[in-house]
Amino acid sequence: MLISGKFQLEKNEHFLEHLVALGIAEEKAKVVDQLRPILEMNIDGDKLTIVSYSGQYKQTSNLVFNEEVDETVASTLTVKSIAQRRDDNKIDIFSRGNNGEKGQRTFEFFEENMIMGKVFGGTRGSNRSQHQRHRELCKELDASLMEL
């Protein structure tokens, strides 16, 4: 199964509630909930790179399968994360914050889309999102990034 690629967010279930449960102010959470970022996933050997593009914002996570690494999330928060492959089409990322709070992101890849589930602090901050695989979008994004 092809995991590497670019994916456009199509649908987010319970994301606003997820953000508020994580402590983000509701007004800011509403703005973030309206964004439709692009996720770029790339596997190179035992390395997993995830890049999220949303307007002028770009967040990169560099992970190593089965190895704990520091990962910056939400632009300023650093957590300890471990990525693991599961089956041909699934990746789990387990994270732990400095306060001991744990979270999990699960990515399940299909021919035309990717489903991502997130659970942080038990089910208190969970959500599920669907991302469409965009082959044409890849060309457009690559061209616009060359200009940066």
Indicate which CATH number applies to the domain containing 25.
2.40.128.20
Give the whole-angstrom CA distance, residue 119 versus residue 94.
10
Give the whole-angstrom CA distance, residue 73 versus residue 76.
6
- Which percentage of the chain shows pLDDT scores above 70? 75
Kindly report, residue by residue over 32-91, the tens digit of the pLDDT: 777 778 889 999 999 999 998 887 788 899 999 999 999 887 666 788 999 999 888 899
User: What residue type is 132 in one-letter code?
Assistant: Q
Residue 109 belongs to domain spanning:
5-146
Tokens of 144: 């616009």
Its pTM surpasses 0.85? no
Q: How many domains does the chain have?
A: 1
Tokens of 88: 């041909």
98: CB partners within 8 A, 6+ apart: 78, 79
Length of the chain: 148
Q: Give the Cβ contact number of residue 14 at 10 Å.
A: 14
Question: How close are the terminal C-alpha atoms of the chain, in Å?
Answer: 31
